[in-house]
Every structure is written in C-alpha cells, then in structure tokens.
Amino acid sequence: MGLGSVDQLEGLGEGAQVAVAGLGDHDQVLDADAQLAGEVDAGLDRHHFAGREDVLGVLGDARFLVDLEADAVAEPVAEALAVPGGRDQLPGNAVDVLGLDSRLERRQRRLLGLAHGLIDCARGLAGLTGGEGAGAVGAVAVELGAHVEDDQLAAADLALSRLGVELYASGGTAKLLREKKVPVRLIEEYTGFPEMLDGRVKTLNPKIHGGLLALRGNAAHMKTIGEHGIVPFDMLVGNLYPFEATIARPGCTREEAIENIDIGGPSMLRSAAKNSQSVAVVCDPADYPLVLAQLKKNAGNLDEETMKELGRKAFALTARYDAAISNYLGAGQGGVEPFPVTFTAQWRKTQGLRYGENPHQAASFYADTGLPDEPTLGGAQQLQGKELSYNNIVDIDAALQLALEFAIPAAVVIKHTNPSGVGVSKRRLLDAFKKARECDPVSAYGGVIGFNRPVNSETAREIANTFFEAVIAPSYDKDARKILSTKKNLRVLATGGVFRWSNARTFEMKRVSGGLLLQTGDRHVLDPKDLKVVTKRKPTPEELEALLFAWKVCKHVKSNAIVYATKDRTVGVGAGQMSRVDSAKIAVMKAQHPTKGTVVASDAFFPFRDGLDVAAGAGATAVIQPGGSVRDAETIAAADEHGMAMVFTGVRHFRH
C-alpha cells in the first residue's frame, strides 16, 4: 500500500482523496474538497506514531493515511485492520498502537467540517521528517506586525517552505510572501472566519490558539484539537505592531498610538511561548539564521534549550511591549507627561560580574533593551582586556558621558567617577590626552580614559606608557589596536557610530529604600548668550572660552564641585566635599600647574564669599556659577574687590 509522504501531500489537489482508517467498524474515503455530511464511528484506543513520514496525522483516535489513489487504499486498510495481526501488513514504521489490551468502546464523533481541514490536521501532526523530537517543525504560523526587511522574511520563509513546512499567514503577511513566490495559506481560509473590524480581528480564533497551546503529550488535548480540525502548529514566526516607534514620532496622537497597540500578536506569542516545549516561537529576525541552520542540521528539529530560549525571548518581548503601552497611557493625554502613573522598564543581562562594588556584593551588568541612537556603554564592544568589573563599568560610563560634552578632540581621565583631568586640542588627540593626564598624574594612574575621536597609533603609544584600567573611544585604527594589544589586561572598548548625543529623552534612576527616584538626564547645553555678567568687569574672549570649558567639566564632578581651568585643560579639580570652600582649597592643592590666570567653575552658588576668596588667592581671574544665593551681592562685591569677572548661568549642576 503506497502511503503519501509530506511532499506528496503538498501536491494534493482539488478532487484528491483521503483514506480514513479507524480501529472500529468504519473506514471511509473522503474527497479533499467535500463537506462531511455524517459522523464516523471510530474505536477508542491509545496511540502514537513511531514514524510520521507514512502516517500523516491523527484525529481523536483515528489514523489518517493519505494516498493520491485513495480508492485503492481504503479497502486494503480496512481489511488489514479487521483481522487479528492485520496491522502487521501495514508499513513497519507506520503505526504503533499502545494499550491493545484496553477495553474498546464506541462512541459517535464528528471528524471535520471540511475534508481539507483533515488534511491540515494531518500535515500539522506529520511534522517535517517523521522525528518525534519536541521541536519537530511541520506547520508554521507567520504573523508580522512590525517592519521586517522583506527579503529577510521572504528568504527565511522560503527556506522553511523548501524544508517541507506549510506556512499560514494573515492578509498583509501572506500577500508579501506570495509576491516573493513563497507558498502560504491564508489564516482566514483555515479558520473559516474572515479578517474583520478593519483588521483588528484576524488571529483571535480557537483554531489558532488551540494549535499553539495543545500539549502534544496529552492525549486528551490531541483528541480535542483533532475533533475540531485544529492544526497543531509547530512554529510561530511573529512580531508586533511598532507601538514604540509610533509614539516616538513627533506629533503622534493618542488615537494613532491606540491603533498601533497589537492584540493578536502578543496573544499568539504568549500562547506559543507557554507551550515552548512543543512550539518554537521566533519573534526576533536575528534568530532566523540560527533556527533555519538548526532545522537543516537536525532533520527538522530544534533542540530543547533552543526551544526554551525562544520562549523566554517571546515573553520578554511581550513584557517590554506591555510596559511601553502602560508607560504611555499612564503619562496623560498624548503621553506628554514625562513621568507615568506607573513606571515599568526592561533591561537584558549582558554580563555576569565577579562581584559588585565590593567583593562581598554580587552583581551583573544589564543593557537597555532599546538602545538610543548614540554612543552607550550598553552598546559598546569590548575589544580586548580583562573582564569588566562593576567599578570599571561605572567609571567608563563617567568617561563616556564627559567625552560626549565636547565637539573638538577631547580626552578625559576618570578616577572613582570624578575627572582627574580633561584636555582638548584642535590639532591632535594626543595633545588632548597629554593635557588630561598631566592635570593629576598620580590620580590618573589606574584610571579610565575616554576619547571622543578614533584613537590612532601615536595616542595609543602614549596610553601604553601609563597603567590604566580601561579606555573607551569611538574606534581604533589598526596600528593602535596592535600597540594596545601589548597591554593585555587593558580593557579596550569601542562605541562605534557617530559620537554625539541623540535627541532622545533620557532618564536617570536612583534606588532608595522602598522606592525609585526618576529624573530626566542632565543634558543642558549652555548658550553663551544666556550668561549674565554680574561684575564690573566682563570676561575677556579667552576667559569666556575657558569658563565654558570649565563649566562642561564641572557638570561631571561630584558636588560640591570646583574646577580650575584654562581654555583647553583642567588645572585643579576639587570634588565631593561637604563644604564648597574645602573643594576650592583641595583643587588648588591638587594642581600640578600654576593656577594663576585660570578661571573657576562652581556647580552651585557660593553660599559665602570665602570660596571665591580662595580662588582669587590662587590667582584665578574669572568665575562661572549658577547664582541664586541670598548672599549673591556679597559674592559679587568680593569678585569686584579682586578685579575678577563673574558670570551667572542660572543653571545648577548638582551631582550626588
């Protein structure tokens, strides 16, 4: 008896016939396009299939044997099943009947509404190759809400199709696949329900979710989906409507945002992910090559770990998606309020750390799931060196954020999140680095470097002359990489891309006991036109250039912060003191170059004139500060006494 293979089934056309062989008294031949008018008695028994390449499906307890010449099949099958030992006449790997000693009972059962539904069921249960692995793939639902590169999707689905997999998709996705010559069946043809309500309802149907949720090892589940003509899908390829991209567009209305909330997509992903021991759920286009390669290598099966990981990623995606919706809807009409009623965010673990800030603390590093279009530590690549530590990561990010402040070539040296030195140069990055290191060579030892330009060989050679923990830059040329590779423990990171801030709104978070502080990022850029000269003397052009440079650095120093600088380098940095006057004194004490002729930046106002008196005594000639103290008049008078120029910014840069 010639039983149909999966490939033969693909060629089954209109008018083809299917032989239905049951364990009871009834075997029947059905036209593939005919409505079943009656009900078929089938004997009840347990079963499973050792080889699915011959037995293509099961509905309840009936076996379905497909052949293009079904007239020649039905009678021999019936005869074989009717006599003791007759099953031995069937192909050796076709059927393995369990529980033959159990009592058979008879009951009425409706098989299918349409014969082609029976074929769908057969196809789905057949799997790809006849293997019994949990990850065997035979029927795949494809549902895409967000943009995926057309050729990328078509190539993946065409590869699945050529592996013998049957694809199901709704209107838009099906149209795309058919345009790319990929065979696909419309979801509405399978479910018997058209897309409705302007596409809002497409896949919310028991014939979809039943096929995703049915437990393959549960006989009752398999019998139920069989009775209702439900295909047990082996894979779901899907993503979601682009809600986050929609609300990020300027002028997006609430109505537009609501219309881009996907309902069917997350529902399908969750159903498939819940059943990930049997259903592969592929929601990330980056996984297409991996999945296809494993299917080809493992005869149409995915291994258990891959199935679990795909399921985990699907739940992570739907959690992030729901979080974006919740944050948007909780942020008032149109999402204009920056802080929603409830705040939910998601990060992905990128690295386990040996320990945290101290050896007795455990730690891991998590990156944003949606990285902004700008240099970030979460998106940087480590090119060489020892594993990053918790403190390395904190310091490297501090270096990166300060380096982003400058438009001309700049170098930053960070120690314990504070800049020990910063330099800029319109000529060479090497010159900027030397200026930064020379500000405080003792503190620079064992520090972290940040650059805002690609590192070349001459700069790399100078880096190699001092012990540093890490360096981060946009990129490194070939010779620089070779030179730095001699420092095997030096952690070298590259951000790639364009080195500048994006226009994306950023948030900073700080945990407190029992809560979370959330604020917008401090990306204020000072416009020189907004400066208010409050002293009798105005700053000279060179002093103004130095003041603007010092102000950028001071913004990144822990409060209370005082910075002495010239127009292209820091000279002394006083950080993190409980009184501002002490920071002013420490900055002078740390200075390795003369402070005479420098300017001074203060992150907050001078509460008394004493800090300004210290600066004047060190030889500083100009001051930049926010202003706003009740004793501003006293401080202004002190500056005038010393012949200093002073400007108010009206902006404070506390950093705790």
Looking at the annotation, which residues are catalytic? 274, 416
Pairwise CA distance, residues 185 & 142, whole Å: 10
Closest by CA position to 408, among listed 388, 432, 389: 432
Do 479 and 452 meet the contact criterion of CB atoms below 8 Å apart?
Answer: no
Pairwise CA distance, residues 182 & 157, whole Å: 7
Pairwise CA distance, residues 85 & 88, whole Å: 6
Gyration radius of the chain's alpha carbons: 35
Do 493 and 380 meet the contact criterion of CB atoms below 8 Å apart?
Answer: yes
Q: And the tokens for 30?
A: 């059905």
- Tokens 């240099």, residue located: 375
Pairwise CA distance, residues 138 & 619, whole Å: 80
Query: How would DSSP label each residue in 563-590?
Result: EEE-SSBEEEEE-S-SSHHHHHHHHHHH
CA 263, 269, 275 angle in degrees (round to 5)? 135
110: left (phi over 0), alpha (psi -120 to 50) or beta: beta
String of b and e for 196-208 (b: at least 16 CB within 10 Å)?
A: eeeeeebbebebb
Packed helices 288-297 and 150-162: angle between N→C axes, nearest 10 degrees: 10
Pairwise CA distance, residues 523 & 325, whole Å: 26
Burial, 524: exposed, middle or buried (Cβ in 10 Å; 0-12, 13-18, 19+)?
exposed
- Helix, strand, coil percentages (3-state) for the chain, rounded to 5, are 35, 20, 45
Pairwise CA distance, residues 545 & 539, whole Å: 9
CA 500, 503, 508 angle in degrees (round to 5)? 90
Contacts with 41 (C-beta within 8 Å, 6 or more apart), sequence order: 22, 24, 25, 26, 106, 107, 108, 109
Closest by CA position to 462, among listed 494, 436, 499: 436
